[in-house]
Chains A and B, each alone.
Chain A
Amino acid sequence: MVNDVTNIAYLIVALPVLAFVLTLAFGKKLPSGGGYIPILAIALSCIISIMAFLQIRETGMPIEISSHWFAVLNVGIFIDPLASVMLLMVSFVSLLIHIYAIGYMAHDPAKPRYFAETALFTAAMLGVVLADNILQFFVAWEIVGLCSYLLIGFWNHKPTAAAAGKKAFLTTRVGDVLFMAGIVILFFNMREHVLPHISGQEEVYLLQFKTIFENIALIPSQQLTLITLLFFGGAVGKSGQFPLHVWLPDAMEGPTTVSALIHAATMVTAGVYLVARTFPMFIAAPDSLMVVAYVGGFTALFASTMGLVMNDIKRVLAFSTISQLGYMMLALGMGAVIGAEAVGFAMFHLINHAFFKACLFLCAGSVIHSTGTNDLREMGGLFSKMKITGITMLFASLALAGIGIPFLKILDTPIGTSGFVSKDAIIVEGTYVFAHLSHNWIPFAFGVIAALLTAIYTFRLWFMAFTGKPRQERHPHESPFTMTGVLSVLAAFAMVFGMLTFLPFLEFVGHTYDHEEIHHLAVLGENTIIDHHELHHIVGEASPIIFLLPVVVGVGGLLLSWVIYNRRWISVASIGNWKNPIFAVIARRYYQHEIFIELIALKFTYGVLALSAEFIDRRIVDGIIDGISDFVVGAADIVKKVQSGVVQNYATATVAGVALLGLILTFLSITEVI
């Protein structure tokens, strides 16, 4: 029985890949563009993931399969608790999004391509999750990037969509190059320092996570810091952290279902997963963890300010994703003091976020589907027309804003929406404990202020879309059942998943890494981490204000939004006009466009680097190349003349060749002998 899942684990990835091939080949001839094939395949993947989860929980042993590839490399599958929860989330959310897409994409003529690409996207993400070595991880990671390019630019006849696809691809590529550099440096370190210790052992492969983690002590610490920073560079690109977040808002150009896939189940979580997956390396390089924490915290705050001023419903959600991913990175960075607990918090937020963000995006999709616009200013009063969408979106918004009841705990579990449970854990048990121990309150401040802003922009969106008077003449209608059904499921998850699974989840994911091992690695990095009991002790003694704060800012934000956007006691125009310098700076997205595109990209990269490179290229390199190619073409002409087609000449050449060889050989033998 036990071996069952181990033997079929490969199907988790293989089935969606098969679905990709089948849909691409036969989709045109099937109903719904073959959309049912990926649904079936991903449903089966989901079932196998559940079986894997149950097996791991029962036996406490990870699922491992590895087979030799060549030389010191292997291909394999490794499912530990961390990978297991990711698998569950990715396959389940992706399944729901695929079902929803049957309704959402019903009128699109390119359905087969859509479903084939999303199937491959899901397969690649599942491949990232269960890779047992960093190289395989990277290959799947790259396929994720490729699919994102294809899907964001899915409506490739729209120039903005094509440009957004390119932007996503190129921006994440910056991160990918860093990641790859990290892998290369890791490989050389492993070869130099670790290989002598493990050579001769059977079934040991250099880039396998297991081998890497077991031998971290052998890698010099500066090298380790460099490698982990480069890995984090990859994560910054994929997970849209500052400053490589610029692709994510534009990624809205794809179909909304693709946005939901990218923002909830696949792609952006890959970066967080990368840091969580290689956490033992990070814990031994505490400097890198601090970088992770600050970049994450700053991103959480920075992106939430921008969420405030966006008018495109999907862009608001995009900035909220960036901000929430920042929270996850912040949580992981807190691992510098709380150890492997941080992985549990970050993953828990990741999973909760997947549910409520998928729900929010699909609600947004439902709204766009029925109103035909993305612009919040053109919506309003939708609630009476779209009750299910409105309610589900409200639930998801409550979760995103982290609304819950402080102090009330039943069976040690906090009571509140899932966003409350996980964000609260990050702020209190992560950043507060960090502040308590190091007297550094900056991460805590990042977390709390971002929480306030999150609540404001979330409800700004909801109030603007669903309440008030319709601002434009439209005929909204509720979406079909395939869409609303999925919304209801996701909204239910957004409300209760956090409460129901908090403790078991942390306990289960806590088995991913051996705590003593992590402690040992922290000592290696000249860093001390506290254990579980100490953490509880510190949290237990914290002042009530700490507990109150996240909820207070959440509710406060909600009320503020209500005052401004629903009651309109404060005029929106008095804040949101271009005379207000703060609004102007934020609404212009901190002049990012000016800085990134015009200053860095155009002025510096193009003006200075590219033009000077072009000069060198045209005058010098091209000169050489042209010279070579002229030479080659000229030489080819001469040889062509010799190649006359007259067979006598060929025979002559043969005999001449013999004579020439004879001369050379004679010469050689004479010089050798003498």
Chain B
Amino acid sequence: MSFTCESLIPFAPEIILVIAALSIMIIGLFMETSSKKLLGYFSVVALLSSTAIIIAKGVYEVELTGLLAGSLSIDPMSQFFKLTFLLVSLLVVIASIKEFEEHSNQDEYYTLILLGTIGMMLVASAVDIVTMFIGFELASLSTYVLAGFNKNEPKNIEAAIKYFIIGAVSSTLLLFGLSYMYGLSGGLTNIDELANFFSMNTELLISPMGIMALVMMTAGFGFKMALVPFHMWAPDVYQGSPSVISALLAAGSKKMAFVAAFRVLLVAIIAMKVEIGILFAILAVVTMTLGNVVAVGQKSIKRMLAYSSVAQAGYIAMVFVVVTPEALTGGILYVMSHAFMKAGAFITVGAVCYVLLKQNSKAQDVDHIDNFAGLGKRSPFLAFSILVFLFALAGIPFTAGFVSKFILFLAVLKEGYLYLVVIAILNSALSLYYYARVVKYMYVLPPASDEKMSVPTPYVIAIVLAMFGVLAIGIVPEPFVNWATSAAEVLFY
């Protein structure tokens, strides 16, 4: 198979990011810290142009398969997720411009975010298990470093190390599982071919080796998706990392695991023809329940958001139980909605922490819920934004959270899993408790200090963009639903 420049054209968005990432790395070597902020703007431009190209090419009906020796394809599914990743990175980069303004290694920071984004985009397009794994690792390695980016903060370092160790274990498991698939199929790496092979040789999948492969892959993806019991790193890391990086992890790299799992696990489940729904039902129920229950007791907002993120992964995991196009539509829509809601929430919390630290540089545990008391008086904008994002996460109507929950739960109900829907709805009700508690702190309790909080513009832009996304999906759901439907159809037809 010949390699020509033309075969690269469909990957213009990724290539732009590669060029941008490498140039930032090199230019950064020759720049003063004070002017490195420009590199942030440069990254914004790169991400925007990448986004523009994807939108210009159309996202509904693109279908290019067998690219780069059959390892990548461009379809509504890949475009949907790529756009999600790009938008999340965009939000994160915009918000970071202020947060890391004085950091001497900003150039590395932006390079790593862009490289991580490329990794995620690669996973979204990958139809070959080896390519997928490489994308996975590219994104993981970048985020390991980013999680510990504030080298002088012990909490950052601790978070990064934990993330790295558990990440390494999980990558091993994933690779192990993938290698079993490779071996069982006699040397196939293309997902479509694997699916064909296994649907004709179902007995291989339910052999001990096949089962091990499936379990290992579930564990490997489950780590990134933060499914119980592979979730334990998530609260520590989300809490310990800079808020913007928590946003990237929760809204970006977590969703990468979902697209990979949709493409590999879902296809494997379809091929298996054995009813293993109960396995994922247990995973989903345990994940959502544990996430919500533990979130109730949290005093740290970031940790609370981390557990809520675990719980939300539990909802999405219901897709693996009910393997229907409708459920997958709901799941995909949920991924995008959750990306906006969670990124918005983390960035807003990050903005609060930033301002609090600015006012008192010795403050400890700035994301403690007590610091949010009376926020409605100190900064109406931030308080209102948190309110919107939390209500969206809880699934209040006219927000993205409601629409995606509605479609997903309805699809699950349609297949007769009443008990799953009941548990999920009870969980949603429980989640409202801890979200509403934050709202109570912000609007009802008296402020800890009367000092007004002025929010730096980059944060405002990022927050407004995320809020726009949350409300757009909530108020005009139809285009997004259609889009998610066409993405879901990729796997089923």
Q: Which residues of A contact B (CB under 8 A)?
A: 68-71, 632-633, 635-637, 639-640, 642-643, 645, 647, 649-651, 653-658, 660-662, 664-666, 668-669, 672-673
Q: Nearest-CB distance from A375 to chain B (Å)?
A: 39
Nearest-neighbour CB distance to chain B for A180, whole angstroms, equals 14
Q: Given the complex of chains A and B, what is the CA–CA distance between A71 and B410 in angstroms? A: 15
Q: Which residues of B contact A656 (CB under 8 A)?
A: 229
Quote the shortest CB–CB distance from B94 to chain A (angstroms).
23
| B residues 164-216 touching A (CB-CB < 8 Å) | 165-166, 169-170, 173, 206, 208, 211-212, 214-216
The tally of residues in B whose CB lies under 8 Å from a CB in A reads 42
Contact B219 A657 (CB under 8 A): yes
Chain A nearest Cβ from B98, distance in angstroms: 24
Residue pair A632, B208 in contact (C-beta under 8 Å): no
- B274 surroundings in chain A (CB, below 8 A): 668-669, 672-673
Q: Which of B173, B294, B478, B481 contacts A640 (CB 8 A)?
A: B294
Contact A665 B215 (CB under 8 A): yes
Complex contacts, B296 vs chain A, CB 8 Å = 632-633, 636
Q: Mark B278-313, 1 if CB is under 8 A from A, else 0.
A: 110011000000100110110000000000000000
Residues of A within 8 A of B232 (CB): 642-643, 649-650, 653-654
Listed by A's residue number, 7 A-B pairs whose Cβ atoms lie within 8 Å are A640-B294, A654-B219, A654-B232, A664-B278, A668-B275, A673-B206, A673-B274
Residues of B contacting A654 with CB < 8 Å?
Answer: 166, 169-170, 173, 219, 223, 229-230, 232
* B368 located at the interface, meaning its Cβ lies under 8 Å from any Cβ of chain A in the complex: no
How far is A653 from B278 in the complex, measured between Cα atoms in Å?
Answer: 21
Closest B residue to A670 by CB, please name it: B206
Give complex CA distance A563, B430 in Å: 69
With A and B bound together, what is the CA distance between A414 and B214 in angstroms? 89
Cβ–Cβ < 8 Å partners of A649 in chain B = 232
Interface string of B226-265 (1 = CB under 8 A from A): 0011101101100000000000000000000000000000
Expressed in whole angstroms, the minimum distance between the Cβ of A663 and any Cβ of chain B is 9
Question: Are B294 and A650 neighbours in the complex by a CB distance under 8 Å?
Answer: no
Question: When chains A and B are docked, how far (Å) is the Cα of A112 from the Cα of B216?
Answer: 63
Residue pair A662, B297 in contact (C-beta under 8 Å):
no
A666 contact from B211, B228, B282, B293, Cβ within 8 A:
B211
Closest A residue to B290 by CB, please name it.
A639
Does any Cβ of A come within 8 Å of B64's Cβ? no
Asked if B165 and A668 make an inter-chain contact with CB atoms under 8 angstroms apart, the answer reads no
Task: Give the 5 A-B residue pairs with the shortest CB-CB distance, closest first.
Answer: A657-B229, A650-B232, A70-B478, A636-B297, A669-B206
* Contact residues, B139-177 vs A (CB, 8 A): 161-162, 165-166, 169-170, 173
Question: What residues make up the interface of B, taking CB atoms closer than 8 Å to A?
Answer: 161-162, 165-166, 169-170, 173, 206, 208, 211-212, 214-216, 218-219, 222-223, 228-230, 232-233, 235-236, 274-276, 278-279, 282-283, 290, 293-294, 296-297, 430, 476-478, 481
Which residue of A654, A666, A672 has the most chain B CB atoms within 10 A of its CB atom?
A: A654
B211 A69 Cβ-Cβ under 8 A? no
Additional A-B contact list (5), CB under 8 Å, known A70-B477, A654-B219: A70-B481, A632-B430, A654-B223, A666-B208, A668-B279
Residues on the B chain within 8 Å of A633, using CB: 296-297
| A118-B216 Cα distance, complex, nearest whole Å | 63
A662 touches B166 (CB 8 A): no
Chain B interface helix/strand/loop/mixed: helix
Q: Which of B166, B208, B216 contacts A658 (CB 8 A)?
A: B216
In the complex, chain B residues whose CB is within 8 Å of the CB of A657: 219, 222, 228-230
A68–B478 touching, CB < 8 Å: yes
Contact partners of B293 in chain A: CB under 8 A: 632, 635-636, 639
Q: In the complex, which residues of chain B have a beta carbon less than 8 angstroms from the beta carbon of A653?
A: 229-230, 232
Contact A672 B215 (CB under 8 A): no
- Closest chain-A Cβ to B484's Cβ sits at a distance in Å of 13
- Structural contact, A637 and B215, CB atoms closer than 8 A: no
Cα separation A665 to B223 with both chains bound (whole Å): 18
Find the A residue at minimum CB distance from B235.
Answer: A643
| Distance in angstroms between the alpha carbons of A71 and B223 in the assembled complex | 37
Closest to B212 in A: A662
In the complex, which residue of chain A has the Cβ closest to the Cβ of B275? A672
- Which listed residue (A68, A69, A637, A666) contacts B297, Cβ 8 A? A637
> Measured between C-beta atoms, what is the minimum distance from B426 to chain A in Å?
10
Instruction: Name the CB-closest residue of A to B292.
Output: A632
B283: chain A residues within 8 A (beta carbon): 661
Complex CA–CA separation, A637 to B165 (angstroms): 26
| Cross-chain contact of B165 among A635, A647, A664 (Cβ < 8 A) | A647
User: Is A651 a contact partner of B478 (Cβ separation < 8 A)?
Assistant: no
Query: Which B residue's beta carbon lies closest to that of A633?
Result: B297
CB distance from A670 to the nearest CB of B (A): 9
Given A632-B430, A662-B211, A665-B211, answer yes or no on A651-B165 (Cβ-Cβ < 8 Å): yes
Closest CB in chain B relative to A641 CB, distance in Å = 11
Which residue of A69, A645, A662 contacts B215 across the interface (Cβ within 8 Å)?
A662
In the docked arrangement, what's the CA distance between A128 and B306, Å?
Answer: 43
- A69-B276 Cα distance, complex, nearest whole Å: 39
Residues of chain B within 8 A (CB-CB) of A640 are 294, 297
Does B166 contact A651, Cβ atoms closer than 8 Å? yes
Contact partners of B236 in chain A: CB under 8 A: 643, 645
A661 and B166 within 8 A (CB): no
Given A657-B219, A658-B173, the answer on whether A669 and B211 have CB atoms closer than 8 Å is: yes
Residues of B contacting A665 with CB < 8 Å? 211, 214-215, 276, 279
Q: Are A650 and B162 in contact (CB under 8 A)?
A: yes
- Chain B residue nearest to A645 (CB atoms) is B236
User: Distance in Å from the Cβ of A75 to the closest Cβ of chain B?
Assistant: 10
Contacts of A651 in B (CB 8 A): 165-166, 169
Question: Max chain B CB contacts within 10 Å: which of A642, A647, A656?
Answer: A647
- What is the bound-complex CA distance between A639 and B310, given in angstroms? 14
Q: For the complex, what is the distance from the CA of A663 to the CA of B429, rounded to whole Å?
A: 32
Report chain B residues within 8 Å CB of A639: 290, 293-294
Tell me the smallest distance from the CB of B252 to a CB of chain A, in Å: 22
Pair B278/A668 contact, Cβ less than 8 Å: yes
Q: What residues on B are CB-neighbors of A645 within 8 Å?
A: 236
